[in-house]
Structure 1
Amino acid sequence: MTHLAPPEGHLVPSGSGRTLRTAAQQVTFKVTGEHSRAASSFEVVVPPGFDVGAHVHTRSEELFYILEGELDVLAFEPLVRTLDSWREWESHSGKRVVRATPGTVILVPAGCPHAFANPTGTEAKMFFQSSPPPDHERYFEELLELLASGGPPDHAAIEALRARYDIEQLTPLRHMRRT
């Protein structure tokens, strides 16, 4: 008679995980496709002035939980998709951009435009989960490599990267200190 070992969980202590860094960005991989068929999980530091730009995924569902700091966020289809900025968007039901503080959860179903930006002078930190894995793992690896130069983002390279990973960019990614 063969006995199979019982399944074991995956524990990642505080301060642990595989961390990718640039001068301003930091993403720590907590749970990857190696550990879960359901979702990848990350801890993300969002520097002052960083704006991921409004975008949409056709296949991915995402969850954001604000741990520290404040982020402006949206998760809705706007009445009008303006090309330059998402901050003034309004939904068909009257929703607008929200200032998310620690403890705020944002669930983004596939097909829903969404964005976040750090308009403050201090870093923000969030728990980020994406399903299914491992697309966001690969995306973060390549994005941080592109942003590692510290100069202005190469929008053409980021656009090509996002297209490979089911990300339709609706407004530009920006990284500038806001005051």
Structure 2
Amino acid sequence: MGVRVPPGAGVPPHTHGREDEAFYVLSGELVIEFEGDSAPHRVAPGGFFFGARGRRRAIRNVGDKPARVLVLCAPSCGLDQMFAEFDAATAAGMPEMGKLVAIAAKYGVTIEAPAA
């Protein structure tokens, strides 16, 4: 699936329990933090990174333009449905984090809600 990440936006720390993810950056620049790595990774256009299931990660667009990313999931485990639910939940603005955490949990993804 293709994903657009606005400048300064990203995905909070989260862990997939059912699938591995692979990311190919088409445009923009991302910073990815992986559990167990000593430093974040900067990934520019043409770069690839792999997020194994069970390994926490966070992603942020550090550029001034939207990043375009091709995301591959194996097996899929319904992540396309999770993203559709996220889109519906955020259509009228950002809902409380608990709602997004609950949606993700249905699909085996644990989101670490930011500290208040």
Query: Does residue 164 of the first structure (1) align with residue 103 of the second (2)?
Result: no
TM-score by length of 1: 0.60
- Residue 126 (structure 1) aligns with: 69
- Residue 83 (structure 2) aligns with: 140
Residue identity in the other structure for 1:167: V
Q: RMSD of aligned C-alpha atoms?
A: 1.4
The runs of 5 or more residues in structure 2 that have no matched partner are none
The runs of 5 or more residues in structure 1 that have no matched partner are 1-41, 78-90, 173-179
Is the strand fraction higher in 1 or 2? Answer: 2
Matches of 1:117 and 1:147, distance apart in 2:
18
TM-superposed deviation, 1:152: 3.2
- Residue 40 (structure 2) aligns with: 97
Structure 1's 106 and 142: CA in aligned 2 closer, same or farther, altered over 3 A? same
Give the 3-state SS of the residue equivalent to 2:53 in structure 1.
coil
TM-superposed deviation, 1:165: 0.9
Aligned 1:9-158 pairs, distance under 5 A: 42-77=1-36, 91=37, 95-149=38-92, 151-158=93-100
Matched-pair contact (CA < 8 Å) for 1:146–1:154: no
Matches of 2:46 and 2:24, distance apart in 1:
6
Matched-pair contact (CA < 8 Å) for 1:63–1:107: yes
Residue identity in the other structure for 1:160: A
Matched-pair contact (CA < 8 Å) for 1:75–1:106: no
TM-score by length of 2: 0.89
> After the TM superposition, which parts of structure 1 deviate over 6 Å for at least 4 consecutive aligned residues?
none
Matches of 1:138 and 1:157, distance apart in 2:
15
TM-superposed deviation, 1:97: 0.9
**Percent identity of the aligned residues?**
29
Matches of 1:134 and 1:166, distance apart in 2:
9
Structure number with bigger Rg = 1
Matched-pair contact (CA < 8 Å) for 2:21–2:51: yes
Aligned residues: 114
For residues 115-170 of structure 1, the C-alpha deviation after alignment (integer angstroms, 9 at most, x for no partner) is: 11112221000110011124111101100111111x33421110110111111112
Higher RCO (C-alpha under 8 Å, 6+ residues apart): 2
Matches of 2:63 and 2:27, distance apart in 1:
12
Give the 3-state SS of the residue equivalent to 2:63 in structure 1.
coil
